[in-house]
Amino acid sequence: MNQPDPAFEIDPQRLLLESMETGALPDLEPLELAREYAQELAQGSSGENEIVRWWHSPSGFYYEFKQFPAAFYGRSGPVQGQYLSPQEAQELVWEALTRADKDQADLTMFYTPHLMQSDLDFYMAYTLEQTRIERGEARYALPLFMRLKLPTHLLLLFRSKDEYLMFKLPQGQPVLYQVLA
């Protein structure tokens, strides 16, 4: 019996975080073909808010930041989103802040369309080379965008007007930057 192909994911987040720390721009050109493929697979339902746009279909998922398209994520495979009430979204944010602190998980939240103009616009917590880094100010406010990277899955929350859409994406096979370079 044929096994389905494992989902692949293309996630340059680590490269972007490293470049933020070093000041050197990441070379994402080797990932461009995989990025285009992920975008193609995700064509179907779409949404957007002030800072990010996303697409999802039975074949894949893709998001990118409007002002900074190098910040993107794509994956193949079945994807389903879930609408949350404001209370459920708030609980998810509290849980994400707790997990980022307790489990040292990578967390990114953008609260305003200004992205990173002031510490109140965003919060990021991540680990690079055994060093825990926090930027911005952690708040319990509902963000426009939240991304929590755990060992088993990626949790995304998008706010559009008064709607909250969550995706819980199981970890896929990563597209390796070194192989494509």
Task: Convert the pLDDT of each residue in 132-175 to its tens digit.
Answer: 999 999 998 999 999 999 988 999 999 998 899 999 998 766 66
Task: Convert the pLDDT of each residue in 82-132 to its tens digit.
Answer: 999 999 999 999 999 999 999 889 999 999 999 899 999 999 999 998 999
Which residue range is the domain that position 170 belongs to?
8-174
Phi, then psi, of 46 in degrees rounded to 5: -145, 165
In a domain, 162, yes or no: yes
In a domain, 37, yes or no: yes
Q: How many domains is the chain built from?
A: 1
Contacts of 16 (CB under 8 A, 6+ apart): 26, 70, 71
Query: Do the Cβ atoms of 32 and 39 come closer than 8 Å?
Result: no
Percent of the chain, pLDDT > 70? 91
In a domain, 160, yes or no: yes
Q: What is the pLDDT of residue 6?
A: 62
Helix then strand then coil, % of the chain, to nearest 5: 25, 40, 35
Structure tokens at 117: 């103009």
In a domain, 61, yes or no: yes
pTM value surpassing 0.85: yes
